[in-house]
Amino acid sequence: MPFKRSRLVRRQLDDSSSDDDDYVISSATQILHSLSNVKRSHGGSVFGHRIINRDRQGGHNRMYQDYLAVNPTYSPEIFRRRYRMSRQLFLRIMNAVEAHDDYFVQKRDAANVLGLSCFQKVTAAFRMLTYGVPADATDEYVRIGESTVLESLRRFVTAVVDIFEDEYLRYPNEADTTKLLARGEQRGFPGMLGSIDCMHWAWKSCPYEKQGQYKGHKDKPTIILEAVASQDLWIWHAFFGMPGSHNDINVLHRSPLFSNLAEGTSPQVNYTINGHEYDMGYYLADGIYPSWATLVQSITLPMGNKRKYFAKAQEAARKDVERAFGVLQSRFAIVRGPTRIWDKETIGMIMRACVIMHNMIVEDEGFLDPNERFDYGGRNVEPARGKATRTLDEFIDAHRRIRDKETHVQLKEDLIEHLWNHYPDLY
Residue 140's CB is within 10 A of a number of other CB atoms, namely 10
* Domain boundary pick from 167, 191, 213: 167
pLDDT for the residue 52: 82
Is residue 42, in this structure, part of any structural domain at all? Answer: no
Distance, CA of 161 to CA of 169 (rounded, Å) = 9
How would you classify the pairing of strands 381-385 and 267-273? antiparallel
Same domain for 282 and 152, yes or no, is: no
Q: What is the reported pLDDT for 218?
A: 82
- Same structural domain, 12 and 91: no
Is residue 43 assigned to a domain? no
Residue 327 shares a structural domain with residue 230: yes
* Reported pTM: 0.85
Cβ atoms 199, 225 nearer than 8 A:
yes
91-109 as b/e, with b when 16 or more CB fall inside 10 Å? eebbeebbeebebbebeee
Same domain, 325 and 242: yes
Tell me if 49 is assigned to some domain.
no
Task: Report whether 228 contacts 196 (CB < 8 A).
Answer: yes
Number of domains comprising the chain = 3
Element (H, E) at 388: none
Same domain for 129 and 151, yes or no, is yes
Q: How much is the pLDDT for 26?
A: 52
> Per residue of the chain (427 residues), what is the pLDDT tens digit?
444 444 544 444 455 444 455 544 455 555 545 554 555 555 555 677 777 888 899 999 999 999 999 999 999 999 999 999 999 999 999 999 999 999 999 999 888 889 999 999 999 999 999 999 999 999 999 999 999 999 999 999 999 999 999 999 999 999 999 999 999 999 999 999 999 999 999 999 999 999 999 998 888 999 999 999 999 999 999 999 999 999 999 999 999 999 999 998 888 899 999 999 999 999 999 999 999 999 999 999 999 999 999 999 999 999 999 999 999 999 999 999 999 998 999 999 999 999 999 999 999 997 555 444 434 344 445 444 444 577 889 899 999 999 999 999 999 999 999 999 999 888 8
Q: Are residues 161 and 186 in the same domain?
A: no
Residue 46 lies in a domain: no
Q: Distance of alpha carbon 60 from its chain centroid, rounded?
A: 30
Q: Is residue 337 part of a domain?
A: yes
* Nearest partner of 414 among 284, 310, 270, 268, judged by Cα: 310
Max CA separation in the chain (angstroms): 92
What confidence score (pLDDT) does residue 109 get?
A: 83
Residue 351 is assigned to a structural domain of this protein: yes
Same domain, 130 and 253: no
363: domain range? 174-422
Residue 409 forms part of a structural domain: yes
The answer for residues whose C-beta is within 8 angstroms of residue 127's C-beta and 6 or more apart is: 133, 137, 138, 142
Q: 67 in a domain, yes or no?
A: yes
Q: Are residues 316 and 273 in the same domain?
A: yes
Assess whether 261 and 392 both reside in one domain: yes
Q: How far apart are CA 138 and CA 149, in angstroms?
A: 8
DSSP string, 177-229: HHHHHHHHHHTT-TTEEEEEEEEEEEBTT--GGGHHHHB-TTSSBEEEEEEEE
